[in-house]
Structure 1
Amino acid sequence: MTDLLHKPTIIGDRVILRPFEPGDIPYMEQCLRDPEVIRLTGSDEVYDSEVIVRWYSTRNEQADRLDLAIVDRSADVVVGEVVVNEHDPVKHSMNYRILIGPRGRNRGLGTEATLLIRDYMFQNTDLKQLTLSVFAFNPRAQRVYEKTGFVLESVEEGALEDDGKLIDSYNMVLTRERWEKLKEAGGV
């Protein structure tokens, strides 16, 4: 198992990925209550403040996952989170997900955050792949994932019901081998 108890600070041009601090919780609560975040993540639950405080207060203690705040450097404010979790010891794989609230959208912050965490994970662990799932009604996220090297692996048809319609979920993967080839070729 990859030990992720060490929570790094990763600095990019536009974002900083860092461990959560107590002052970040109100910003994450805003993100989690945003209707677009709720819809795009397929969530059907609105968490109360106590649950959110308890959750984010324990993220830095977890050795089996990496949860980092995304800080917009231009405003010095938390706009979301990156998470690497769900270790699969057979495939030497972990799941990746990202959540960006309204303050951080449509400015390339999610792309940079994905590139930073992707590189960190492959440079600092022995993982063979990162996986993720994205709903068909989220083409913006699909483009980010494709741009950062993820490729479609499978489709889970009708994975989510949204407003009376069944929505497919796209399962994507980025292998260490593909990541190495992208880096060697001078790609993202």
Structure 2
Amino acid sequence: MKVQLRKFVKEDIPNKVRWINDRNNNQYLHYDLPLNIPQTEIWYENNKYRTDRYDAVIVCDDVAVGLIGLLSISGGRAEYYVTLGEREFKGKGIAKKATDLLLHYAFFEIGLQEVYLYTEIDNIGAQRLFERCGFIEMALERDSALNRGRNVDRYYYVVSSDYKSKG
């Protein structure tokens, strides 16, 4: 299985909308749902040249299967995100490989010192992924986000530039 990352392009918008609107994918995502093509095209046009973010598509064996990226790139830090959108590609280690590729990019290509993320406390599968990728749970933040009208508790995770891919 060959996993690669490539920069998000306008032609990826229909996949993004489909993946984010899928109930199997969006339980822990903090989006105004449902997404639609016109609003996502506006998002794309507003973000495509920004240097404080990196939006990529996860490609497995030449098939686009998800989204991954870095937000708020500043001061040697960035926030990580990932969504594996295609159901039949889940549970095969693709998100792990994609995360390893993204962290290599973050630390060795753009010189970040730290990548962090937040995950809701109930998102156990994601926490397992993050820990396998070298992220360390740093804090529990109570009522730190709003998801579908309710306050949720989230863990704050960090991985630093001394990161070593666990292959």
- TM band (smaller chain): 0.7 to 0.9
Contact 1:59 1:67 in 2 (8 A): no
Name the amino acid aligned to 1:169: R
TM superposition score normalised by structure 2: 0.86
Change (3 A) 1:59 1:113: farther
Query: Which residue, 124, 128, 139 being the options, matches 2:124?
Result: 139
Q: Single out whichever of 122-131 and 146-155 deviates more from structure 2.
A: 122-131
**Pairing 1:83–2:30 present:** no
For residue 4 of structure 1, what is the aligned residue in structure 2? none
- Three-state SS of the structure 1 residue aligned to 2:27 is helix
Contact 2:77 2:114 in 1 (8 A): yes
Instruction: For 1:123 and 1:63, locate their aligned partners in 2 and report how far apart those are by CA, in whole Å.
Output: 17
Contact 2:54 2:71 in 1 (8 A): yes
Give me the CA root mean square deviation: 2.3
Instruction: For 1:163 and 1:85, locate their aligned partners in 2 and report how far apart those are by CA, in whole Å.
Output: 22
Instruction: For 2:43 and 2:102, locate their aligned partners in 1 and report how far apart those are by CA, in whole Å.
Output: 21
Query: Which structure 2 residue ranges, 5 or more long, are not aligned?
Result: none
Instruction: For 1:101 and 1:79, locate their aligned partners in 2 and report how far apart those are by CA, in whole Å.
Output: 6
For residue 108 of structure 2, what is the aligned residue in structure 1? 123
- Three-state SS of the structure 1 residue aligned to 2:111 is coil
Instruction: For 2:42 and 2:148, locate their aligned partners in 1 and report how far apart those are by CA, in whole Å.
Output: 31
TM superposition score normalised by structure 1: 0.77
Contact 2:81 2:117 in 1 (8 A): yes
Query: What per-residue deviation string (whole Å, max 9, x for no partner) do you get for residues 85-119 of structure 1?
Result: 11342xx2111111111333222111110000101
Query: What per-residue deviation string (whole Å, max 9, x for no partner) do you get for residues 66-91 of structure 1?
Result: 11111121xx32221111111342xx
Name the amino acid aligned to 1:125: I
For residue 139 of structure 2, what is the aligned residue in structure 1? 154
Answer with 1 or 2: which has the greater Rg: 1
For residue 67 of structure 1, what is the aligned residue in structure 2? 55
For residue 97 of structure 1, what is the aligned residue in structure 2? 81
